[in-house]
Structure 1
Amino acid sequence: MKFGHKFADAMANEGWPQTWVNSAIPYKGLKKVLKQIQAELEALGLDAATLTQLRQPNLDEEGRHRSGVAFQYNFKDQETLVPKLTFFVDFTDGEAVNALLTPATRNYLRVAAQERLGNSLDGQAETPPPSTPSSEEQVYFIKELHYSSSSVAAEVLENTQRVEIPLNFDSKFFELLQNDIVSLDKLQAKEQTILLDDIQALSRSLTRVAMPTRFPLFQHSDLYRWRELFELYLRANIFFSTNETDSGVRDYAKAKEQLQWFQTELGKRGIEAKFKLGESRLSLARFVKINMNLLLNLNFQEYNQNAIRKILKSKPPGRWVFSGDESSDDCPEFDKKTSLGAAKMFPNLFLAHTIMSGTIATAVCQQVTQDLIGIVPQVDDYTCPVCSDIHYRAVRLDCRHILCIRCTIVLQRVEYSRALCPICRSDTLLSATIDNLDLKMECYLERFFKKEVRSKQIQNQTARGREEFGINYKHPTEQSCIVQ
């Protein structure tokens, strides 16, 4: 299926709101304008084959480029995107020196040059000397024509004239494309704001259902259920991967796969059924909806990105094909029709837009981490780097790194002569005393990680008991009652 049919089918059947569809890239309309651009250039005798040959070196017997014509295609600026096709023509006896030019093209360039200079080139009228290209244009001209001799370059520049050709349909093409991209940017910004507002509203709900309670017998909290849920969510890396092998924003297909895995794991673990509060179930439904809406946005964004890349023919991800090194299959659609060599302009003109950079997924993921996952702290963020267990009774060394009290004592005993911080290797371990205990951290962990703190307390007491009473010591929680 051709991309145009696939794009139209997606707009009709992917379930996007009509406002989204109305803002989509008009792929078929742009293709029609491209044909009009091609016809406009051919009417001037500047078909694709001619322009392609003008870009190629044409050496004489002495190895010098003697085509007599060079052109550059650029834009007025990056905001208005008004294209300009400028020819630098070497005239001899009033005629353009280039065997590749058709008579119609030669005549057009001669007339255009006469109109620009206000006189004929055959010397019949007395007018001020014709202006030569500016220094910047001269540099471009020399580089484009590959002159091997500076004397030859100077000789040709004396007869070189600058001719600008207006391209009406080119302006229409880029105006249409730019307006659609701006419209898509506005739509993306609006949808991003909606998603961020939903996340903030959900964070207020999570504050009520996932905060620890002072009186567990009379108050309920789903702290541990939400912690398990967010642990799964972080492991899924749905929209943004932090793995070394595939870091960055995920594409739609991978994001959809990871979201399905996340929902399947939720069902297997029965997390929703474990919720004690009805508001937690409502919050879970809202959380899943936020992710589904973001996935829908990502799909819509990718289709429009592909439409832009197809019409400009770049190679995703992020690699644009430059004129002069493309194959016939990879040639940009615009350059394929016109051979103007404009592909090198496209990255700077379009990649800065939101629709092409894909910032919405990054922004939403950052907000989820900050406003949702931040409410429910994860155990991995409070583990001792030595024993990989929660660093209850945290000892904050003078170098600001944190160890649990048990590991600090063991390292001070075992490595007395060379006790260094296990993270930065600074000489701060031996100087740690009871004053280095982080009491605020201790209270925080006791509040949010009651089960983990209790387990750590038992481990510490067991280790201390074995030091005092031998390796057969068992903590009271490991012993059964023997009273008959």
Structure 2
Amino acid sequence: MKFAHEFKETLERECFPDHWLAAAIPYSQLKKCLKKVQRELESLGLDKETLQQLLAEQTVSPNGEPIPLVRYNLDHASSRSLRPCLSIFVHLRHGQVIDAALSPASRAFLQRLSGAHSRPSAIDSSACTTPLATPSPDVSSDDNDEDTEGELERIEVPLVFDGEFFNILQTDVDSLDALQQQEEKSMEAEIKSLGAEVSAVVGPPKRLAKSDLNRWREIFDLYVNAQVFFSSHELDHGSRSSVKAVQQLVWFQKQVQTRGLLQSFKVPSSAVAYSRFLQLNATLLQNLKFQEINKTAITKILKKFDKRTSLGASVTFRSAIRSRNFLAGSVAKKLCAQLSQEVVSTVPRAEDYDCPICFSIAWYPVRLRCSHLFCVRCVIKMQRENKKHCPLCRDEGVMNADLNNIDKSLEKFMKQYFRKETEEKQRANEIERGMEIFGDQYKHSSCVLM
């Protein structure tokens, strides 16, 4: 299936909003314009084969530097529009183009341009309209005729339709930039609103009060493990494609359903918040698909441009184009970071408060003078072994830690949000302490009041 049909079908199949479709790359229009560019070049004797031959050859400037015979640049004529410039470097002898690599038609065309615009000056590699230099004045004209290939001159080929082609492309990239910026602002506002809604239903569990903290914690643990839009795994590290993102999002939803987390919600507004969370991910996924298909369209049309003209526009365009959002990166990257900060982080995760030594929750939390956090048992062990340095930053503050280093506010926070984890860690600490005092035969049992 040709890409033009695939592009059109994808835009229709995905049911993108109408204002998105209006901003999509006009692939068919660009293809028609490309045909005009090809015909224009061929009418000047600069067909694909001739340009390939010229691009493969080099000449030498008067100061001895090698330069290509053909150069194609995309400069900004204004703040918005691109000005393509095709320059050909030719040798003139007595005002006649003598380069053997040129076809007769191309030589005759460049001969006319040379006669109309020739004026000797120094080579300027940064400008596309400056003719090239004459040979060194130390060489006489007679010697020049016999010993050199003639004067080297830069001739700018006046083209019309390549300018039309690239200005269409630049205009549409600008439209996609504006659209993406608009969508980002809309989703940023939605993320903030959702974060506030989730915060309202995930307060710490209280006696006789309903809370969905544990269910939301499990949901977000599944979401983090799904890594829908980005992977931190070594084998596939980086941004996900839309196809892979769909697979990961489906896996996440199935896990939530399998565990019956939705049915166990105690607060009615939790179900509403979860629906908004899924819709936000769906919108982000749709945006990713739209970005992918349009980027592919740009890549395909530039590849087709190069194939029909041999001018190497794929590299030139990407270096000249001004794209703040659309081509600069993925919309998913920025918004996923905000989603994590504004929504997922509203539900505290025990892993974020692990002791870096024992890798379980840092209970009781001891904060050294260097601000690093450890559980009380690990700090006591370090002090017994006379280990003075913080394992993370090597600050000599371990031996100075005492009861004043217990982080009381964090202790209260852990009791509220991680009751199960802190109770398990407390029990493990008591068992370990008992074994230190009474030996390996020690068995822990809770006190019973009679």
Question: 1:70-115: CA deviations, max 9, x gaps?
Answer: 2311122284211011222211133211233333322221222222
1:190 alignment partner in structure 2 = 182
Alignment of 1:25-40 (within 5 A): 25-40=25-40
2:266 alignment partner in structure 1 = 276
2:8 alignment partner in structure 1 = 8
Letter in 1 for 2:29: G
Q: 2:123 aligns with which of 126, 134, 141?
A: 134
Quote the Cα distance in structure 1 between the aligned partners of 2:116 and 2:68.
18
Shift of 1:472: 4.6
Quote the Cα distance in structure 2 between the aligned partners of 1:379 and 1:182.
45
Alignment of 1:244-259 (within 5 A): 244-259=234-249
User: How high is the TM-score relative to the length of structure 2?
Assistant: 0.87
Shift of 1:4: 1.5
**Contact 1:4–1:28 (CA<8 Å) still a contact in 2?**
yes
Quote the Cα distance in structure 2 between the aligned partners of 1:20 and 1:156.
59
Shift of 1:163: 2.0
Quote the Cα distance in structure 2 between the aligned partners of 1:141 and 1:249.
47
Shift of 1:287: 0.2
1:364 aligns with 2:335: yes
Structure 1 49/267 Cα, relative in aligned 2: closer, same or farther at 3 Å?
same
Letter in 1 for 2:36: Q
Shift of 1:305: 0.9
Shift of 1:216: 2.3
1:375 aligns with 2:376: no
2:423 alignment partner in structure 1 = 454
Shift of 1:174: 0.3
1:318 alignment partner in structure 2 = none
Quote the Cα distance in structure 2 between the aligned partners of 1:291 and 1:454.
35
Alignment of 1:147-162 (within 5 A): 159-162=151-154
Alignment of 1:295-310 (within 5 A): 295-310=285-300
Structure 1 101/157 Cα, relative in aligned 2: closer, same or farther at 3 Å?
closer
Q: 2:155 aligns with which of 160, 163, 168?
A: 163
**Contact 2:93–2:149 (CA<8 Å) still a contact in 1?**
no
1:231 alignment partner in structure 2 = 221
Quote the Cα distance in structure 1 between the aligned partners of 2:300 and 2:314.
12
2:410 alignment partner in structure 1 = 441
Quote the Cα distance in structure 1 between the aligned partners of 2:368 and 2:148.
76
1:293 alignment partner in structure 2 = 283
Q: Does the residue aligned with 2:16 lie in a helix, a strand or coil?
A: coil
Structure 1 69/6 Cα, relative in aligned 2: closer, same or farther at 3 Å?
closer
Write out the 4+ residue segments of structure 1 that deviate beyond 6 Å after TM superposition: none
Q: Does the residue aligned with 1:274 lie in a helix, a strand or coil?
A: coil
Shift of 1:407: 1.5
User: How high is the TM-score relative to the length of structure 1?
Assistant: 0.82
**Contact 1:69–1:98 (CA<8 Å) still a contact in 2?**
no
Quote the Cα distance in structure 1 between the aligned partners of 2:186 and 2:68.
54
Q: Does the residue aligned with 2:326 lie in a helix, a strand or coil?
A: helix
Structure 1 38/444 Cα, relative in aligned 2: closer, same or farther at 3 Å?
same
Q: 1:402 aligns with which of 355, 367, 373?
A: 373
Quote the Cα distance in structure 2 between the aligned partners of 1:135 and 1:288.
57
Question: 1:387-421: CA deviations, max 9, x gaps?
Answer: 211101111223332210012112322x23x5543
Aligned residues: 431
Question: 1:269-321: CA deviations, max 9, x gaps?
Answer: 11111210000000000001100111111111111111111112xxxxxxxxx
Letter in 2 for 1:108: F
Quote the Cα distance in structure 1 between the aligned partners of 2:124 and 2:188.
52
**Contact 1:181–1:353 (CA<8 Å) still a contact in 2?**
no
2:207 alignment partner in structure 1 = 216
Quote the Cα distance in structure 2 between the aligned partners of 1:58 and 1:246.
42
Structure 1 68/234 Cα, relative in aligned 2: closer, same or farther at 3 Å?
closer
Q: Which runs of 5+ in 1 are unaligned?
A: 60-64, 118-129, 143-150, 313-331
Question: 1:413-453: CA deviations, max 9, x gaps?
Answer: 2x23x554333444432232222222222122122212212
**Contact 2:363–2:422 (CA<8 Å) still a contact in 1?**
yes
Alignment of 1:309-388 (within 5 A): 309-312=299-302, 332-350=303-321, 352-388=323-359
Shift of 1:202: 0.7
2:18 alignment partner in structure 1 = 18
Q: Percent identity?
A: 39
Q: Does the residue aligned with 2:72 lie in a helix, a strand or coil?
A: strand
Alignment of 1:14-163 (within 5 A): 14-57=14-57, 70-77=69-76, 79-117=80-118, 130-136=119-125, 159-163=151-155
Q: Does the residue aligned with 1:183 lie in a helix, a strand or coil?
A: helix
Q: Does the residue aligned with 1:83 lie in a helix, a strand or coil?
A: strand
1:199 aligns with 2:191: yes
Quote the Cα distance in structure 2 between the aligned partners of 1:58 and 1:394.
71
Letter in 2 for 1:75: L
Considering only aligned residues, what root-mean-square deviation do their CA atoms show, in Å?
Answer: 3.0
**Contact 2:123–2:131 (CA<8 Å) still a contact in 1?**
no
Q: Does the residue aligned with 1:267 lie in a helix, a strand or coil?
A: helix
Shift of 1:247: 2.4
Structure 1 58/163 Cα, relative in aligned 2: closer, same or farther at 3 Å?
closer
Quote the Cα distance in structure 1 between the aligned partners of 2:58 and 2:227.
55
**Contact 2:361–2:425 (CA<8 Å) still a contact in 1?**
yes
Quote the Cα distance in structure 2 between the aligned partners of 1:101 and 1:470.
95
Letter in 2 for 1:358: G
Q: Does the residue aligned with 2:108 lie in a helix, a strand or coil?
A: helix
Higher mean C-alpha deviation, range 347-356 or range 249-258: 347-356
Q: Does the residue aligned with 1:75 lie in a helix, a strand or coil?
A: strand
**Contact 1:74–1:345 (CA<8 Å) still a contact in 2?**
yes
